[in-house]
Structure 1
Amino acid sequence: MTGPWDTRAPLQDYLRRATAAGIHRTVLFAAFHSNYAVANQQVARIVASRPDRFYGFAFVHPERDRGRVHELVKIAIERYGFVGIKVHRHDAGITREICAAARAFNLPVLYDVAGEVSVCELLAQEYPDVNFIIPHLGSFAEDWRAQLALTDHLVRHPNIYADTAGVRRFDLLEQAVKRAGADKILFGSDGPWLHPGVELVKIKALRLPPVQENLILGRNFLNLISAAAWRSKSWPMTGRLVSSAKSITKNHSA
């Protein structure tokens, strides 16, 4: 219990706000946890309670889960119907073991690089057949240098994507869309701590053509998870807004 990010992430307020904003589907993954096998199981209960509303991503720890990543992901995909992998640099740097699991199950990896965007060059070269989503345009800490650098990666590498959660410098977000294209950007809310309606306003403020806006608000995500979603029979209706939120469920009854 060092902060909200590893204590509790209740969804009630987030879901109310997301519904009011017109967000129909949400990607869930655990808050930081000491045992991601347990955390993923808890998230799976929430996803199973509303399969029409939620997608799940399997959170893995690059060091603590070393040697069992493939099995953890296999359980998450085949038993829970999850459609992606989540990794955070706060835990440890991403590993070949995680990338190999993503390749084996044809899953996107949501990897928070915490400003260390240079790793995208290695990921793109070593695993060109794995898609990586880098949240916060590379830096939740508002490191504009990292966000500019990530935009370069978005332009140069077809398997590097970014999400918009928590991006505060609007001109950098606008530049990323202009340079890399709307097909490389995914809407993210970083719930439950950020307000999804506020995050959504940033996308609307870009004033993009409807086709490009729809890519950011859901279509890009659906394309990235298409193989896993088809396998888990969780393919949704098209044209729906998709957001992302963390969840920890010790006090949640699903």
Structure 2
Amino acid sequence: MIIDCHCHAGQGDGLSGPWDSDAPLQAYLRRAQTAGIARSVLFAAFHSDYAIANHGVARLVASDPQRFYGFAFVHARRDRGRIMDLVRTAVERYGFVGIKAHRLDARISGEVCETARFFGLPVLYDPAGEVAVAELLAQQYPDVNFILPHLGSFGDDWAAQLALIDHLVRHRNIHTDSPGVRRFDLLQQAVRRAGPHKVLFGSDGPWLHPGLELHKIELLGLPPADAALILGENFLRLARQG
């Protein structure tokens, strides 16, 4: 079973670009089905109120709970003091299985990490190239699993991505995902040095084509058992869904 661990969905409320506007799933779902992707992890587009955005994602998850998992998006600075409540609602009412945060909102905080620890959730935190935070996360929250997507930088920051590979190798609880990684040799190096248990397949849908992103994993030419880890088993383990 192939699981896309990284897909945005629902309405944003900004107009600076697709990332904070609308994230419709119709075309994405057709492409994912054609590619053989069985399930997808959904989280919101950027939004000025993640309580509203998470509720919108929850409706999508509830529309097909056998197809979708949900992650609660939080803003580490703006949601300060209510992150526990936001995530509690997402877990207990919506059935969400993880937390999402992004450096372009705010740097990750202890409150986010402690909430993840309390609920036993993985955190998908996009550091936007500031990958040194992996050292702090690993040291201070060794019992929380973190996914730093795009090999640490969607912006094709070779130095940041190379540095993140070292963190993947050294820290048991630091993981990454594959969408938008342009330099195939670095993706290959991450799997070879850190192991296939540290990398998750994702597409960054609906904006990137899930079939194209999946093909990068296929091109790694891994043994079936290793490919199965990246294509779904790692996510199920981290989200405690296995």
Instruction: Compute the TM-score of the two structures, normalised by the length of structure 2.
Output: 0.94
- 2:174 maps to 160
Cα shift readout 1:48-103 (whole Å, capped 9, x = no counterpart): 00001000000000111000000100000000000000000000000000000000
1:13 positional shift: 0.3
Match of 2:220 among 185, 206, 220: 206
Measure the CA separation in 2 of the matches of 1:37 and 1:183.
32
Partner residue, 1:143: 157
CA distance in 2, matches of 1:175, 1:69: 36
Runs of 4+ residues deviating >3 angstroms: none
Name stretches of at least 5 consecutive residues in structure 1 with no aligned partner: 230-234, 236-254
Instruction: Return the letter of the residue paired with 1:102.
Output: A
Supply the AA of the counterpart residue of 1:152: D
For 1:124, the equivalent position in structure 2 comes to: 138
Distance in 1 (CA, whole Å) between partners of 2:39 and 2:92 is: 21
Alignment of 1:9-158 (within 5 A): 9-158=23-172
Q: What amino acid maps onto 2:30 in structure 1? A: R
TM-score normalised per structure 1: 0.89
Query: CA–CA distance in 2 between the matches of 1:40 and 1:30?
Result: 6
1:4 aligned to which of 18, 39, 64: 18
Paired amino acid for 1:173:
L
Matched-pair identity in % = 70
Unaligned stretches of 5+ in structure 2? 1-14
Instruction: Give distance in 1, aligned partners of 2:218 and 2:52.
Output: 37
Map Cα deviations across residues 138-181 of structure 1 (whole Å, 9 max, x no partner).
00000010000000000000000000010010000000000000
Higher relative contact order at CA 8 Å, sep ≥6: structure 1 or structure 2? 1
Structure 1 residue 120: deviation in Å?
A: 0.4
SS in 1 for 2:22: coil
Query: Alpha-carbon deviation of 1:223?
Result: 0.2
Supply the distance in 2 between the matched residues of 1:180 and 1:5 (Cα, whole angstroms). 30
- How many correspondences in the alignment? 228
Question: Residue 190 of structure 1 corresponds to which residue in structure 2?
Answer: 204
Pairing 1:218–2:229 present: no
| Separation of aligned partners in 2, 1:24 and 1:175 | 27
| SS class of match (1:116) | coil
RMSD: 0.6
Q: 1:181 aligns with which of 192, 195, 217?
A: 195
How far, CA to CA, are the matches of 1:64 and 1:117 in structure 2? 22
